[in-house]
Every structure is written in C-alpha cells, then in structure tokens.
Amino acid sequence: MSIKLRDYQQQAVDAAIAHFRQSQASAVLVLPTGAGKSIVIAELARIAKGRVLVLTHVKELVAQNAQKVGLLTAEASIYAAGLNQKQTDGKTVVASIQSAARALTQFDQPFSLVIIDECHRVSLAKTSQYQQVLTHLRAKNPQLRLLGLTATPYRLGTGWIYQQHYHGKMGSPEHAVFEHCIFELPIRPLIKQGYLTAPRLFDGLSAQYDFSQLKPNDNGEYVESEVNDLLGHYGRATTAIVKQLIELSQHRKGIIIFAATVRHANEIFDLLNQTHGTQSAIITAQTHDDERDETIERFKDQELKFLVNVAVLTTGFDAPHVDLIAILRPTASVSLFQQMIGRGLRIAEGKKDCLVIDYAANGYDLYFPEVGQAKPNSKSVPVQVHCPACDFANIFGD
C-alpha cells in the first residue's frame, strides 16, 4: 500500500534526516495530536540504513506504530508483553518500554536509531526505564541516534524537554532530556488546513468545581482523598453537569468524560445510568484489560455514546467521531490538559467541531500554554506573534 505523506509530515522527516547527517545530538519533533506521528515514524524507519527501535509506553501505541511501519516498509517486529508478542529480529522493532527494560539482553543486536513516541514521558533519572534501555543500547552502538516525538514538549516542574529550539529560543538547558527541537508544527495551521477539527472551548456552563484550594504534588497529581472530600460538597454540581452533558449529547456523537477519581467516575456513571444506561460505560485503572479493550471497541463502533474514565484515555486512544470532551478533573499539567482535548480533535465525516467543556476551571490556553508552572501567577501577559512564513506561534512576555 502506498501512502503519500502530508507536506508537514515530509518536512518533519526531512528535518530529522538533515539533522542526523551533520549531528549526533538528540533531537525532538513536535507534532500535535492527530497530525499522524506514526506515519512520520514509519517513513523514518523505511529510509533508515540501520536497524530502528521504536519505543513507547502503551500497547495501543505499539500496535499503531507497528501497523503504520508495515504499511510503508517491511513488517515490524513487536516486543510487548501486552500484545503477547516478543520478537526483536526485524529491521524495525516496535517495543513497549516496560517490556524492553525487563529484557535488555533481547536488544543486544545494535540499533542505529531509537525513536521514542510520547517522548515527554522520558526523565533524566538514570534509574528510569528509558535511561536504562538507552544506556544499554549506547553500549552496543556509541553512534546511536536518538529522536523523540511528542505533541507536548514539556514536563511539569522542569519545563521544556529540549535545550534549544531551531527558531532560536532557549529551552531548559539543565533539565532537558533532548538537545535540539528540530521541527515544530503549531495546532492552528492544522485546523486551518482541515487536518484537525476545530475545538470550541468553554468553562463549565451549568456548574463548575473549584479545586483551587487543593495543592498538587511535584508530579502534578492531587491527593485522591482530598479530591473526594472536596467533591463530596459538590453533589448538586455533579448532578447539574451530567444533566447538561445529556442535553448536549442530543447533537453529539461521542462524549468522553474525564473524572477526577474512581469514586467520582462511579458517581457520574450512576447518574448517566439513570437515563442512558445502555449507552454509557466506565473505564478506570482497575478495569481488566479484556473488558477495557471490549468497551473501547464498542465506543469506537458507536454502540456507546458516553465513556467515563479516570486518566486512562489520554494517550494511545483514537476515536475520530468524538465531538464532546468534558473535563471534570483538576490537573497541574498542561500536557495532560492538551492530551485530553486531543482525543476530540481528529477529523471524521460530518464532524464540524469538538465541544470542550472544562468544568474544573483549569484555565489553560490550548494554543499557548504556560510551561513549567501550573497557572500564570503574575500580572504579565503572554503575547503571541505568528510567523508570517510558517505560522509558528512565538511567545513574548509583555
């Protein structure tokens, strides 16, 4: 099967080729959710002269990347316990980081290029799984090239995941995992060109939670018991929110609801069940893998209209028909906020926009997020100036 890359996908590939021809420094490509990162990965795997290892953190992305590699070049080997496959003999190997880190000796044959999908998850800690695998691979090939792809190039608390940007701005020299950002595509041109659905963002319309009194930990997570205690005072708000979502759903095809805790998710699910029991489902970290996979397939087939989840459907989940995202949880991570919204931005036939309602007053701007801190805490105002040539959004302090 022949696939023609979109212009920006080819530009991303060309940027990686040009960079690694003259440098061994690690690099990052930034492409929004829905831009087709897996096609870029597959094309790089096709043209690479040596062996390629693609790493990511969830089995859904392993399967997706391997499938795209198979469309463009020789079928990839898959090494992922979650997919019941453990092969490493192909020219391209797509692996889950958890499985690879537990079996380093399976990756003794040298690789020339490592590609990390969702690379904002990589930390500098030597004990982390990614660093263990990279140390092992570099011992086998000191000339190893490292490329990361992400839609959200920052980590809470440490900021940008790269040291320098090709447009000249500085990243995070001390805390960055990667050295250079070599290509970045903003979200606006993708929406303008019709490659992504336009999001319509609203704060809570009928009711809203106030999580401002809660303090997140260093990882941007909130203490579950504290969140549950606060939500205990918001029973009426939750009822009003669910009632509104049911009303809005009459003109929508697929609704994803991000709940704050498991107890909160069950409360939302119970309220939906009263009127839309056959059209609703719930997924949490405790949901068995088989049940989760079946539920997601039913949702993709539009047998289900409402899907309530707790921090499960943020990456590796693709249901283009989703046209309403309801955020009922707080987050101190702008990456997570963008990933939640990204679930609704893929295009589908008859889909004109995606309604996004933030019932948790998170307060982020999808187009120019504050990086390295939870929310703006000074009176300075970011000013966004678009480059007339490439539409890149440059941010300047006012």
- Model pTM score: 0.84
Strand order in the sheet with 255-258: 198-203, 353-358, 324-327, 255-258, 306-309, 280-283
Provide the 8-state DSSP code for 279. G
User: What are 231-250's pLDDT values in tens digits?
Assistant: 998 888 999 999 999 999 99
User: What are 263-288's pLDDT values in tens digits?
Assistant: 999 999 999 988 877 899 999 988 99
Alpha carbon distance 352, 360 (integer Å): 25
Instruction: Please list, in sequence order, all residues whose beta carbon lies within 8 angstroms of the beta carbon of residue 235, skipping any fewer than 6 positions away.
Output: none
Q: How many CB atoms lie within 10 A of CB 395?
A: 14
Each residue's pLDDT tens digit in the chain (398 positions)?
A: 568 899 999 999 999 999 999 999 999 999 998 899 999 999 999 999 999 999 999 998 999 999 999 999 999 999 999 999 999 999 999 999 999 999 999 999 999 999 999 999 998 899 999 999 999 999 999 999 999 999 989 887 788 999 999 988 888 888 899 999 999 998 989 999 999 999 998 887 778 898 988 998 877 789 999 999 999 988 889 999 999 999 999 999 999 999 999 999 999 999 998 887 789 999 998 899 899 989 999 999 999 999 999 988 777 778 999 999 999 999 888 888 888 999 999 999 999 999 999 999 888 888 766 564 444 443 333 344 445 444 544 444 43
Handedness of CA 148, 153, 156, 158 (dihedral sign): positive
